[in-house]
Homo-oligomer: A and B are copies of this chain.
Amino acid sequence: MPADDATDFATSDATSDATDAEVDLVVARTRFGADGLVPAVAQQWDTREVLMLAWMDEAALRETLTTGRGVYYSRSRGGRWVKGDTSGHVQAVREVRLDCDGDTVLLLVEQAGGACHTGDRTCFDADRTVVSGGQE
């Protein structure tokens, strides 16, 4: 689970240039699962690190698009979760992409501080298994 317990980093001045019509179109094209959620992958826009995977309901996706902040639905807490509200490790969202069948969201973000609650930069830093040195 990504972090929201640290206390450093100021909140960002994220904004959104997306129009209401654009927001409606993205939401309409998104295929939420039976539980009303869609997986959302957050990627640092310049280094292309995969930071974390979280979940969005329609309200979270809409808020992300309209505010430019990474907003999710916390499955463990069962509600809205604005990334960085506690930790300050906010995500300023530059781009929202949907995959080819609309059931996955990719966010290109500027991540303040560590994305992970462990303090790591990404949630994928700690547990790595090398499969192949690159014989392909």
User: Contact size class for A?
Assistant: 35 or more
**Residue on B nearest A101 in the bound complex, by CB:** B1
Task: Determine how many copies of this chain the complex contains.
Answer: 2
Query: Given contacts A100-B117, A124-B106, A136-B13, is CB(A95)–CB(B53) below 8 Å?
Result: no
Q: Encode A23-34 as 1/0 by CB contact (under 8 A) with B.
A: 000100100000
- Residue A77 CB within 8 A of the other chain: no
CA distance A15 to B120 in the complex (A): 30
CA distance A92 to B95 in the complex (A): 29
- Residue A4 CB within 8 A of the other chain: no
Q: Judge whether A1 and B100 touch: CB under 8 Å.
A: yes
Chain B residues contacting A22 (CB-CB under 8 Å) are 129
